Amino acid sequence: MAESAGVYCPLPSEQDNVEQAKGDPALDSSTFIPPAPLMSPSIIIEFCDRCRWLHRATWVSTELFLTFPPPVLKAISIIPLNSEETGGSFRVWLNLEGSPPQLMWDRKIEGGFPELKGLKQRIRDYVQPGKSLGHSDKKSE
């Protein structure tokens, strides 16, 4: 499936007419628009790096993108924390235009890590209310 979809996005060097590629804005980085500060909707995952939760955070990010592909979620940011005060932290925030990021999960408040099911339901209720999450909507994961 991956990289084998029908869609084909060639490199300029693969284009039939090489002349066309010359002066191609695709190759002029001065025309590139850098990404906006905080896209909406987007997810931010903060975690205690001392606790070595990078791979857990990355996995959660992968799952959220597969359930809410763009443009439902436009970006996910991963923020490792390594100070004393952030020890043991694992937080998931949802950023929606017009308000500060809203907390979707906090390990200390919830007493543990997010089950994907519950986390997806909370996010769904904001970004795609009414969407069925299939498995994830059932009682037990």
Instruction: Please identify, using beta-carbon distances, which residue of 10 and 98 lies nearer to a copy of itself.
Output: 10
For 125, the token pair is 């209720």
Told to check if 23 binds a copy of itself by CB under 8 A, we report: no
Out of 16, 17, 23, 29, which residue is the one contacting a copy of itself (CB under 8 A)?
29
Cα–Cα distances in angstroms (integers) from residue 132 to residues 63, 122, 128, in the given order: 15, 12, 9
Told to check if 116 binds a copy of itself by CB under 8 A, we report: yes
With 0-12 / 13-18 / 19 or more C-beta atoms within 10 angstroms meaning exposed / middle / buried, residue 101 is middle
Told to check if 138 binds a copy of itself by CB under 8 A, we report: yes
Please write down the long-range contacts of 118-123, taking CB distance under 8 Å and 24 or more positions apart.
119/60, 119/64, 119/92, 120/63, 120/64, 120/67, 120/68, 123/43, 123/64, 123/68, 123/94
End-to-end Cα spacing for the chain: 26
Told to check if 133 binds a copy of itself by CB under 8 A, we report: yes
Told to check if 111 binds a copy of itself by CB under 8 A, we report: yes
Out of 18, 20, 54, 126, which residue is the one contacting a copy of itself (CB under 8 A)?
54
Told to check if 58 binds a copy of itself by CB under 8 A, we report: yes
Q: How many residues in the shown chain lie near a copy of itself by CB under 8 A?
A: 82
Instruction: Please identify, using beta-carbon distances, which residue of 5 and 17 lies nearer to a copy of itself.
Output: 5
Told to check if 76 binds a copy of itself by CB under 8 A, we report: yes
Q: How far is the CB of 97 from a copy of itself (least distance, A)?
A: 12
For 2, the token pair is 């991956």
Told to check if 18 binds a copy of itself by CB under 8 A, we report: no
